[in-house]
Amino acid sequence: MKIGIAADHGGQRLKASVVEHLKASGHTVFALGPETTPDDDYPLIVRPLADAIAHGDVERGIFFCGSGIGPAVAANKIAGVRAAMVENEWSARDGVEHVDVNLLTLGERVIGESLAKSIVDAYLGARPEGGRHERRRKQIEAIEPRPMTTADGSSRIRRDV
Ligand code: RB5
């Protein structure tokens, strides 16, 4: 699977460990997002990854930071991104099967490396279910702002008024 990854300063160690695991599992990993600094800002770092997911450049994304919360909130502003902060395998699987989560955010200050790898395996191994879950996903889409692609191919968000 084509997977985009990024991390802020709070998730560097966990990112390195999980990326090794992803490669060993046969996934293609794309590093998206700027180089980190000790005082970097996750809303700016998650944006290129969220855009790549929304454009279909990668199939799924994973973001690493301290808690996982901030980048999920930020990335969910982008139409087509369904981000979730997850701390266990069950939620990772359920999040894909029911909500078609396409950006997983993990908190290095909360979960250990082994658990993170198990969560990632559950996330990447799951597939969205149809039926009532598809109906609910369509209801979510109906609330979303719509993506608008400009002439130069860059992404813009247009809110219906
Ligand atoms: C950065 O210190 C921290 O706020 C960030 O990594 C993350 O936890 C935000 O959700």
**Per the structure block, which two tokens stand in for 4?**
């985009």
Compute the distance between CA of residue 6 and CA of residue 32 in angstroms, rounded to an integer.
5
Of all protein residues, the one whose alpha carbon is nearest to atom 3 of ligand 1 is: 66
Quick check: CB of 108 below 6 Å from ligand 1?
no
pLDDT tier at 158, thresholds 50, 70, 90? very low
**Ligand 1, closest atom to CA 109?**
8
Residue 106 vs residues 18, 103, 116, 139: alpha-carbon distances, Å: 10, 10, 7, 26
Same domain, 112 and 136: no
Same domain, 117 and 138: no
Same domain, 148 and 102: no
Same domain, 56 and 135: no
Contacts of 9 (CB under 8 A, 6+ apart): 36, 37, 38, 39, 40
3-state secondary structure of 75: helix
pLDDT tens digits, one per residue of 47-105: 999 999 999 999 999 999 999 999 999 999 999 999 999 999 999 999 999 999 999 99
Range of the domain at 161: 130-161
Quick check: CB of 65 below 6 Å from ligand 1?
yes
Other C-beta atoms lying within 10 Å of the C-beta of residue 145? 13
Quick check: CB of 67 below 6 Å from ligand 1?
yes
- pLDDT for the residue 157: 46
Same domain, 73 and 93: yes
Same domain, 92 and 160: no
Same domain, 91 and 155: no
Number of domains the chain contains: 2
Q: What is the pTM of this model?
A: 0.90
- pLDDT for the residue 161: 46
Find the mean pLDDT for residues 146-151: 57
